[in-house]
Chain A
Amino acid sequence: MDLNTLFFLVQQMMFFSIPLLIVALGGMFAERSGVINIALEGIMIIGAFSGVLFLFYAQASTSMHPQLLLLVTILISGAAGVAISLPHAYASVHMKANQIISGTAVNMFAPAFAVYVARMIRSVQQIPFANIFYIESVPLLGGIPFAGSLLFQKTYITTYLGFVILAAAWIALYKTPFGLRLRSCGEHPQAADSAGISVYKIRYAGVMISGALAGIGGLVFVIPTSVTFDATVAGYGFLALAVLIFGQWKPGKILFAAFFFGLMKTVSVAYTSIAFLNSMSVPSAVYKMVPYIATLIVLSFTSRNSAAPKAAGIPYDKGGR
């Protein structure tokens, strides 16, 4: 395998891994606070939808600098993600509802809403946008031999955003009082409450952070891989859930899991451009199945000591023991 293939693989892998990473980190904040967020898929759709809708109008009217425009769009997607995650938070924190049910409701609502609004506006369900965010080579950094071509060429600003979010998530979870409170609410909310922490507030915060990250992740998934938004994120929300469990609810392991899955996915999509894989005459369907089978196999060897937050999925009841 020559160097160019390696560069190509890594560059492609980022397009699959980064959205998974961002969304799985979002899921982590919800689950570590004690709320199962199966609605990630729906939140991604809403985030991507509002972001792309904004781009659709903004690109027609303004001529902002592309990267600046992208950053504004990301903020809008995040805000939309927070907005759609609020009903889920309200149901699962205040109303003590079954978190799977309200998450499923969001998952059903999101694509229907996206298609419905798109049809009302454009009479077809696709919303196009011009992809002007591609970076051929980052100034200065792109010129570094090896590392430059590996990490700073043929990329999007969203890739680096993913790493920033990872670092921020790690610091927030392990190095701040908020992180400690969040984790304690997911493990033993009664103990956290007796130490003077408002479990409700922390859980709201957890779900809202996960909404913001999942909304951003939806946009990050759509931007490099397409030029229209078709009210779907191809099951990436569910895959992010898998990455979250695979990553044992810890930021570092989630990064590893997202890269593993992204690499498998890259191989399954781009195997024709990798010489030695293409020379083996394996049917393309096998490659399509590889990411999922590989995940199952790895999981079956690593799941013995699952470290799920103990109180995840259990509504907090002040009177409970």
Chain B
Amino acid sequence: MILTGGFSDMFNIGQVLYYAAPIIMTGLSVGFAGKTGLFNIGASGQFTFGMYASILAAVKLSFLPPFLLCVTAVASGVLAGALWGLIPGILKALRNVHEVIACIMMNYIGMHLVNYLIRQTDIYDQLKNMTVRVPVNANISRLGLDAFFSVETASGSLRLSSAGGGIIIAVVASILLFVLLEKTKFGYELKSCGFNRDAARYAGINENRGIMLSMAIAGALAGLGGALIALAGTGRGIAVIDVLAHEGFQGIPVALLGLNNPIAIVFTGILVAYLTQSGFLLQRLNFAPEIIDIIIAVIIYFSALSLLIQGAVKFIFKIKKEKTESSAKNKPPSEGGGG
């Protein structure tokens, strides 16, 4: 069931893609910060704040035409996430506050602040103890994906899955990030801050600016993840309880399994979502769904060990290379030499 559940029919594939979109985004958030030498454990707070901002924008600005409304709501989610990521970035760059502790604090501040603001800004649904439903106009278009990934029930009607534009946006974001990191000067600067801060400063790179920007971008990615959930049109809102958003923490294993590579994160995000969906199906067999978390934890643990194998492979290659190099050295150099 674990192996085949997620792909057993088109409906389940759709659900996998729906769950994958936000955790790909939080995974990208953690991974991007990781590439620049920072550990963004604050994706949870950024995610919640982004989700809140996009719900707020969608509800309050519902007079806008549909497409514009959707774009505005997504943009406000991104901005709110960026703001929430920027604060630890500023503290790290200017006041040398450890980003892990600042992010943990921002997670809790974000959670309490959002719970408070939901009531204050009047988007609170008393009966369900969560945010009100987002107007239909604001939802991200499903692009027919929900109908494609669906099954026909016994009565002949289609059971639509929740797949939609979210996964497309997540994939596009990961490709953009890959290009940013690997093909632009700006990405190179950020990465060099991650590899060796002092060398980056020596090379004339403003490393404080790099830290702030990469935290803001990481926050924006997590905020976008929140917006994708809020605007997926599945009626999910922010429940007003004192629990940190789960998606933010799922982003950490997604990023770690993908070795912080934006393209790889798309696939690891789908893997984790796939296991989650299989876990729902396992409940029918009277298993507690937590078994999935145990399985993911074990996979992550062994992925940590797998780095060793990777290292061993590199080591063997290095020995071979050194042998060829030393044999090359033994030949008398034709010119120069000595040194």
Q: Report whether A299 and B97 are in contact in the complex, using a CB–CB cutoff of 8 Å.
A: yes
Please indicate the chain B residues that have their CB under 8 angstroms from the CB of A130 in the complex. Answer: none
Identify the stretch in A48-56, A107-115, A140-148 within 8 Å (CB) of chain B at 4 or more residues: A107-115
Cβ contact within 8 Å between A239 and B304: no
Chain A residue contacts of B301, Cβ below 8 A: 87, 91, 101-102, 105-106, 109
Min CB distance A258 to B, Å, is 14
Closest chain B residue to A103 by CB distance?
B304
B108 close to A300 (CB less than 8 A)? no
**Contact yes or no, A239 B104, CB < 8 A:** yes
Is A98 a contact of B256 with CB atoms below 8 Å? yes
Contact assessment for B244 and A109 in the assembled complex, using a CB-CB cutoff below 8 Å = no
Taking CB atoms, residues of chain B closer than 8 Å to A321 are none
Interface residue? A95 (CB, 8 A): yes
**Which of B101, B293, B297, B304 has its CB near the most chain A CB atoms (within 10 A)?**
B304
Chain A residues numbered 86-124 whose CB sits less than 8 Å from any CB in chain B: 87, 91, 95-98, 100-102, 104-106, 108-109, 111-113, 115-116, 119-120
Stretch of A60-68, A161-169, A288-296 that contacts chain B: A288-296
Chain A residues at the B interface, C-beta cutoff of 8 Å: 87, 91, 95-98, 100-102, 104-106, 108-109, 111-113, 115-116, 119-120, 235, 238-239, 241-242, 245-246, 283, 285-286, 288-289, 292-293, 295-296, 299-301, 303-304, 306, 308
Q: Is the CB–CB distance between B290 and A95 below 8 Å?
A: no
Show 11 A/B contacts (Cβ-Cβ < 8 Å), sorted by A: A87-B301, A101-B300, A102-B300, A104-B300, A108-B296, A119-B288, A235-B104, A285-B113, A300-B95, A303-B95, A303-B96
* Given A96-B311, A285-B113, A299-B102: A108 in contact with B95 (beta carbons within 8 A): no
Report whether over half of chain B's contact residues are helix, strand or loop; otherwise say mixed. Answer: helix
Is the CB–CB distance between A109 and B293 below 8 Å? yes
Q: Is the CB of B101 within 8 A of A235?
A: no
Tell me if B290 and A102 are in contact (CB < 8 A).
no
A267 to B267, CA, bound (A): 45
Closest B residue to A242 by beta carbon equals B101
Residues of B within 8 A of A303 (CB): 95-98
Residues of B within 8 A of A241 (CB): 100-101, 104
Interface residues of B in 75-102 (CB under 8 A from A): 91, 95-98, 100-102
Q: What A residues does B95 contact at CB under 8 A?
A: 299-301, 303-304
Min C-beta distance of A161 to chain B, whole Å: 26
Most buried by A among B96, B97, B106: B97
Nearest 7 A/B pairs, CB to CB: A285-B116, A112-B293, A109-B297, A97-B304, A105-B301, A101-B304, A108-B297
The residue on B at minimum CB distance from A234 is B242
Q: A245 to B101, Cβ gap below 8 A?
A: yes
Contact B113 A98 (CB under 8 A): no
Binding site for A on B (CB under 8 A): 39, 41, 91, 95-98, 100-102, 104-106, 108-109, 112-113, 115-116, 242, 244, 249, 252-253, 256, 288, 290-294, 296-298, 300-301, 303-305, 307-308, 311
Q: A112-B293, A285-B113, A300-B97 are in contact. Are A105 and B104 (CB under 8 A)?
A: no
Report the separation of the CA atoms of residues A80 and B16 in the bound assembly, to the nearest whole angstrom: 36
Contacts A292-B109, A308-B98 given; 16 further ones with Cβ under 8 A? A91-B305, A100-B39, A104-B252, A104-B253, A106-B301, A109-B293, A109-B294, A109-B298, A113-B290, A116-B288, A120-B288, A285-B112, A289-B113, A292-B108, A299-B91, A306-B96
Contact check, A91 vs B304: say whether CB atoms are below 8 A apart. yes
Smallest CB separation, A292 vs chain B (Å): 4
**Given A105-B298, A299-B101, A303-B95, do A95 and B305 touch, yes or no (CB 8 Å)?**
yes
Nearest CB on A from B31, distance (A): 13
Interface centre among A91, A105, A241 (most CB of B within 10 A): A105
Contacts of A285 in B (CB 8 A): 112-113, 115-116
